[in-house]
Amino acid sequence: MRILNFGSLNIDHVYRVDHLVRLGETMQTQQRSLQELAELFARFDISGRLIDGGPHGTGHIHDTYRVEVDADGASPSYVLQRVNRNIFKNIDHLMDNICRVTDHIRGHLLRMNGHDPLRECLTVIRSNDDAPYIEVNDEIWRLYVEISGSRTFDRVRNVNHAYEAASMFASFATLLADLPDPPLHETIPNFHDTPQRVAQLKGAIESDSCGRAESCREEIDFALGLESMTDTITSGLRNGSIPMRVTHNDTKFNNVMIDDQTGKGICVLDLDTVMHGSALYDFGDMVRSMSGEFEENEEDQSGVALDLDRYEQIVKGYLDIAHDVLVDREVELLPFSAKLITYEIGIRFLKDYLDGDVYFKIGRPHENLDRARTQFALVRSIIEKEDAMAAVTARHMG
């Protein structure tokens, strides 16, 4: 089995996107003055004077800034992130997981030839007090080395992207399969407990705190109509038919850095939810985020559909690495997992819309409702194509 796949696919085009998100245009990351960013940067144990910085990326949870530094004539960049502590309640646990995971992966990369841990693994910069984060005015900040010569994309842009990202996430899991004890902390309890997500949705419908339930009756009915499928993976984990593994738990396409020159996946990002769970949620979330020609928040969902060729690339990229590791029950549930996680994330968006948009950042009114509708449209498409997806999967397991 290959450990890391940096295969030999050719990419004709690497599409460039502008990483810098202007304030107010698409999200709510607070603008910070250069002086503020410089003061924060100075509290980390790294040389250099901050010369530029601003909001970065399209994550839904934290506030992320890219900062550029002058260090003896060189100008390295870093990613400075204000951690959302409403969501991550135990910062020591969160950062302990991330340090353990990155140290473990770095160790593997250093033992293998031809790898660059600074580009292929996140590097946490420690603070002047030798901690993996700083606390300033009740805010939690952390600093990562920016991965040079690469970028993320919110949407798959060419035929090889899906293959690349799927093989990156599979390699990531392979590298963590021998993570020694103790178990990782559960940074968000019951994160992929789909039945519990349904219970939370029901609570939000019941309290209807913003008076929005009537306007999304159709979405609510759709969500509740599929409730019977929701414990398939959680019950499998409980009865042992599905193995518990170290998993990423947020395998959307924009959590993989793609190399500008080669178009290959180089590094997996967003390690906040690396925990013990089912590989199926990881596989399913790749399909959710990579199998179509649409954004996560479409206002018009008529173009939302699963593309079987894309699905095949994801299966190929994933199974090229994970083929020998998966048990039969996991293989059988690969197509189902795409339906389940798309549903789960759809009901999380719907719940947040009902709650008044308190969890996922929004850039416009009703964005969370559009996100929910987009996920539900994809669920419908997966239901139509589940048999074809199973046939594709079987072909690549053969």
The contact pattern for Mg ion, residues 51-90, with x = CB under 5 A and - = no contact, is: --------x-------------------------------
Contacts of 26 (CB under 8 A, 6+ apart): 58, 363
Where in 194-253 is the site for ligand GN1 (CB under 6 A)?
250, 252
Q: Phi-psi category of 139—alpha, beta or left, where left has phi over 0 and alpha has psi -120 to 50?
A: beta
Nearest to 164 by CA among 255, 278, 77: 255
- Nearest approach, Cβ of residue 58 and Mg ion (Å): 8
- Span from 8-16, 59-67, 108-116, 319-327 in contact with ligand GN1 (CB under 6 A): 59-67
Size of the residue set binding ligand GN1 (CB under 6 A):
12
Identified binder of ligand GN1 from the candidate list 19, 43, 60, 126, rule CB under 6 A: 60
- Span from 53-61, 178-186, 224-232, 322-330 in contact with ligand GN1 (CB under 6 A): 53-61
Q: Which residue's C-beta sits nearest to ligand GN1? A: 60
Q: For residue 135, count CB atoms less than 10 angstroms from its CB and return exposed for 0-12, middle for 13-18, buried for 19 or more.
A: middle
Q: Is residue 59 close enough to count as binding ligand GN1 by CB under 6 A? A: yes
- Nearest approach, Cβ of residue 37 and Mg ion (Å): 21
> DSSP label at 21?
P
Q: How far apart are CA 343 and CA 377, in angstroms?
A: 10
The smaller minimum CB distance to ligand GN1, of residues 231 and 295, is found at 295
Where in 243-262 is the site for ligand GN1 (CB under 6 A)?
250, 252, 255
Q: Is residue 48 close enough to count as binding Mg ion by CB under 5 A? A: no
Q: How far apart are CA 187 and CA 62, in angstroms?
A: 15
- Out of Mg ion, ligand GN1, none, which partner does residue 155 contact, by CB within 5 to 8 A per kind? none
Look-up of token digits 């990351």: 29
Q: How far apart are CA 158 and CA 26, in angstroms?
A: 24
Mark 209-246 as b/e (b = at least 16 C-beta within 10 Å).
eeebbeebeebbebbeebbeebbbbbebbeeeebeebb
- Nearest approach, Cβ of residue 270 and ligand GN1 (Å): 5
The contact pattern for Mg ion, residues 170-199, with x = CB under 5 A and - = no contact, is: ------------------------------
Q: How far apart are CA 202 and CA 189, in angstroms?
A: 19
Q: Is residue 270 close enough to count as binding Mg ion by CB under 5 A? A: yes
DSSP letter string, 285-308: HHHHHHSSSS-TT-SSGGG----H
- Nearest approach, Cβ of residue 200 and ligand GN1 (Å): 13
Where in 366-385 is the site for Mg ion (CB under 5 A)?
none
- Nearest approach, Cβ of residue 151 and ligand GN1 (Å): 15
Identified binder of ligand GN1 from the candidate list 345, 362, 372, 382, rule CB under 6 A: 345
The residues pairing with 55 across neighbouring beta strands, listed in sequence order, are 65
Where in 240-269 is the site for Mg ion (CB under 5 A)?
255
Q: How far apart are CA 121 and CA 13, in angstroms?
A: 25
Q: Would you tell me which residues interact with Mg ion (CB under 5 A)?
A: 59, 255, 270
Q: Would you tell me which residues interact with ligand GN1 (CB under 6 A)?
A: 59-61, 87, 250, 252, 255, 270, 272-273, 296, 345
